[in-house]
Structure 1
Amino acid sequence: MTDPATAGALYLGVDAGNSKTAALVSTASGEVVGAGRSGIGDIYGAPTAEAAVDEVMSAIAGALAQAGAGQAAPAGAAFRLAGVDWPEDAAYWDAALSRRQPALERRSILNDGYAAIRCGAPSGVGIALAGGTAAAIAARGPNGELWDMGWWGQHAMGAIGLANEALKAVFLAELGLAPPTALTRALLDYFDKPSAAELNHWLTRREGRAGHRDRTRCARVVTATAQGGDQVAGDIVRAQGRYMASYAGVAARFTGLAAAGAPVDVVLSGSVLMAPGSPVAAALLAELPAHVPHAVPHRSVLPPVAGALLDALAESGVRVTEAVAARVARTMPPADFLAT
């Protein structure tokens, strides 16, 4: 229960990734009163680690300013940050926050994969499967055990996985080393290139080559081609679902969820899995029972930054109920705040 003495307190949730960093500030009731957004907050993905810290600080400053918090520190904060993959990454952030936000004493620092758990399971116990630009998979067990995929993932997933496998299929088909595929025409049309050779050149040449986002933005073309009946694209999509389901099984084993024999909340989030009619989500759900037999799938009802905020509330002693989660949802900033 919330301590009446903290009824006026504010709480901070931060979700940092490779497309953006978002921060939310709320009251103990879950009413969002401040929001801030900035750039890349992943210490592995930003130009420098300090640049990632700058972006996170910028998002926090924007959220606190909008909340009218002045110099007051939030009563609790949860940082869910891409790139917190090893103990030294968390230590780096702990030192950075001590230096840049010394008044923010009550805080937790975890990989961004954890943010999505409460977006579908307010208890915070369960598995989060996020498929966006990349994939983030994390779980919290019934006794508080934690596991996240981090650098243990040995398969490219999300938009990166779809794009990489599709382009490989096109180039191998061009060489006669793989079956012809409708992906060739679909990707040439999408990227406006006259041939597979020109596409390969644009993606790999020394100067003026395509950027990371240029490469991954074709993910929707891959899923659409699969839905159109192309066997090669369909195999790529099914493999993506199989990979994600298998890592969900690992998460369940390492956190005690598999041994509990009880229903396991599995929360899906991210643009690849949340797209209307997503064939990757369908493939994942078809594979999931083989790896997590008692899985109860949920589609995320909130963005990950809202899950980070709910973590901040829960870790500060606020009972996170369906009503609190619903209030966060009702008071979120406009949808374009999170658009990428």
Structure 2
Amino acid sequence: MHYVLGVDGGNTKTIALVAALDGTILGAGRGGCGDIYRAPLSAEHSDTISAALANIEYAVTRALRAARIERTELASAMFSMAGVDWPEDAEVLREAMQQRGFGRKILVQNDALSVVQAGFLHEPAVSLICGTGAATGARNPDGRSWCSCNWQDQIQGGGQLGQKTLDAIYRAALGIEPPTSLTPRVLEAFQMQTVEEVLHCCTGRNRKPPISIHRLAPILLSEAEAGDAVARRIVLEHGHALGDYALAAARHVGIEGTAFALVFAGGVFRHPTTILLDAIVERVRSTSPDVRPERSRFEPAIGVLLAALQASDVAINDEVIEKLIATLPDTSLFATV
């Protein structure tokens, strides 16, 4: 028997899925950050590359164990990873995965492209992934693709929104910004009494925030929805900036001005407010009025698995999709902690 492996790696987690060639998902695994530039160091791993590779290997090994198959049975594998920004990055991962025997045919791409593969295999589409970080990808009907990679370092996801939330309460405490409801919400989240305490724990030597900064993003979105002027301005500005990158992606593959799908994925977009989404769509429609905003049908990892199946010459039809849907892992696998 032959099987395929799909791995989706971001700044918070790495998801590995193993499937049969008919689309049946047989095993899943989860590891830590798979970004070779940003994986946290540890006593065992003194550089980001080895730390990321260890996290990827852990996720894949758990998926193989759950599927009860050997790595030698993997016909093809697709690794869709944050941090694959340049050709040499892809080569580092490809060689490492080949050394580990994770597939006879190994493909590596930036994680921005996984969403356009999840349900939009033959359609022009632009994807916006907004999790801890952010990435934008695009593909035209002929298969030409582009992803933002380091071009988008200035505008990121929940981590940056969390930092903007902190910056807003710092400025409000100094009287530079007007008072904002973000202040009591952040103090509550940090279990602190003053903004100065928050600033100290985030910037002091040998200090560490009690929660990850990206977890402030839902607070920002909730306060924007509730009408806080400072929060709303931050969210709208961020949405317009993300929209600019969506348009840039569309231009790079020649679909700007057409009725392409604008696909949203990632934890930040799971928040019930639509203020961020609406701001993105507003900016994109300034030059592409017929754009079709859609939430991703599947998690990005599913798009990666579909690409792995295609690499094994599997035709993605309704039967394959039905088997995949019927065997999807529990949603907790994909949750950002």
| Same fold, TM-score > 0.5, yes or no | yes
Report the Cα offset of residue 70 of structure 1: 2.3
SS of residue in 2 equivalent to 1:218: helix
User: What does residue 68 of structure 2 align with?
Assistant: 68
Structure 1 distance, partners of 2:32, 2:156, is 22
Report the Cα offset of residue 274 of structure 1: 2.2
Q: Does 1:267 pair with 2:269? A: no
Where do 1:71-90 residues align within 5 Å? Answer: 71-90=71-90
Structure 1 distance, partners of 2:160, 2:56, is 27
Report the Cα offset of residue 280 of structure 1: 1.6
How many residue pairs match? The answer is 329
Where do 1:22-41 residues align within 5 Å? Answer: 22-41=15-34
Q: Contact (CA 8 Å) 1:272, 1:280: kept in 2 or not?
A: no
1:240 to 228, 231, 238: 238
Where do 1:177-256 residues align within 5 Å? Answer: 177-210=176-209, 214-256=212-254
Q: Contact (CA 8 Å) 1:31, 1:331: kept in 2 or not?
A: yes
The one-letter amino acid of 1:184's match is T
Where do 1:128-139 residues align within 5 Å? Answer: 128-139=127-138
Report the Cα offset of residue 124 of structure 1: 6.5
Q: Contact (CA 8 Å) 2:2, 2:73: kept in 1 or not?
A: no
SS of residue in 2 equivalent to 1:62: helix
Structure 2 distance, partners of 1:315, 1:294, is 32
**Structure 1 pair 13/291, CA: closer, same or farther in 2 (3 Å)?**
farther
Q: Contact (CA 8 Å) 1:123, 1:320: kept in 2 or not?
A: no
Q: Contact (CA 8 Å) 1:25, 1:34: kept in 2 or not?
A: yes
- Deviations along 1:82-117, one digit per CA (max 9) or x if unpaired, are 11011111111122122222x723221011111111
User: What does residue 7 of structure 2 align with?
Assistant: 14
Structure 2 distance, partners of 1:138, 1:77, is 20
User: What does residue 317 of structure 2 align with?
Assistant: 321
Runs of at least 4 residues off by over 3 Å: 291-294
Q: Structure 1, unaligned stretches of length 5 or more? A: 1-7
SS of residue in 2 equivalent to 1:171: helix
Structure 1 distance, partners of 2:303, 2:115, is 5
- Deviations along 1:112-145, one digit per CA (max 9) or x if unpaired, are 1111112242436421111111112111222222
Structure 1 distance, partners of 2:330, 2:172, is 44
Q: Does 1:295 pair with 2:291? A: yes
**Which has the larger displacement, 45-54 or 315-324?**
315-324
Q: Contact (CA 8 Å) 1:14, 1:80: kept in 2 or not?
A: yes
**Structure 1 pair 80/199, CA: closer, same or farther in 2 (3 Å)?**
same
User: What does residue 281 of structure 2 align with?
Assistant: 285
**Structure 1 pair 291/27, CA: closer, same or farther in 2 (3 Å)?**
farther
RMSD: 2.0
**Structure 1 pair 129/20, CA: closer, same or farther in 2 (3 Å)?**
same
**Which has the larger displacement, 24-33 or 225-234?**
24-33
The one-letter amino acid of 1:55's match is N
Report the Cα offset of residue 174 of structure 1: 1.7
The one-letter amino acid of 1:31's match is T
* TM-score normalised over the length of structure 2: 0.91
